[in-house]
Amino acid sequence: DAKTTQPTSMDCAEGRAANLPCNHSTISGNEYVYWYRQIHSQGPQYIIHGLKNNETNEMASLIITEDRKSSTLILPHATLRDTAVYYCMRESHSGNTGKLIFGQGTTLQVKP
């Protein structure tokens, strides 16, 4: 049970912002939201994570709604190399193991 819901696939034009939504309506108060991506055949790569406040780093921005039931990952200027599967996850808060539960993710296709 991934406990998050994402669209199966999305397209984005190169140079435009890519906005990837994620629903996590049952998230508990101390669970973080994590985003990873997996470029074809490679190991997953960490992008960003957050708890309540919006977060930004060199790769992306994370917008979390005030009720924390959903979030959006924003890639401000998508490039062809951003084509990947994007996973939104909640930290499995079980015994402090930091386990991540991967779902199916969103396949983002960036088109020229």
Pairing of strands 84-92, 106-111: antiparallel
Question: Is the Cβ of residue 1 or residue 67 nearer to other proteins in the bound state?
Answer: 1
Question: Is the Cβ of residue 9 or residue 17 nearer to other proteins in the bound state?
Answer: 9
Neighbours of 6 (CB within 10 A): 23
Q: Which H or E run contains 61?
A: strand 61-64
Chain residues 36-95 in contact with other proteins, contact rule CB under 8 A: 36, 41-46, 49, 87, 91
User: Residue from 19, 59, 101, 109 that binds other proteins (CB under 8 A)?
Assistant: 101
Q: Determine the 3-state secondary structure of 80 from DSSP.
A: helix
Question: Is the Cβ of residue 34 or residue 78 nearer to other proteins in the bound state?
Answer: 34
Tell the smallest beta-carbon distance from residue 20 to other proteins (Å).
15
**Residue 105 binds other proteins (CB under 8 A):** yes
Of the candidates 2, 9, 59, 10, which has an alpha carbon nearest to the alpha carbon of residue 33? 2
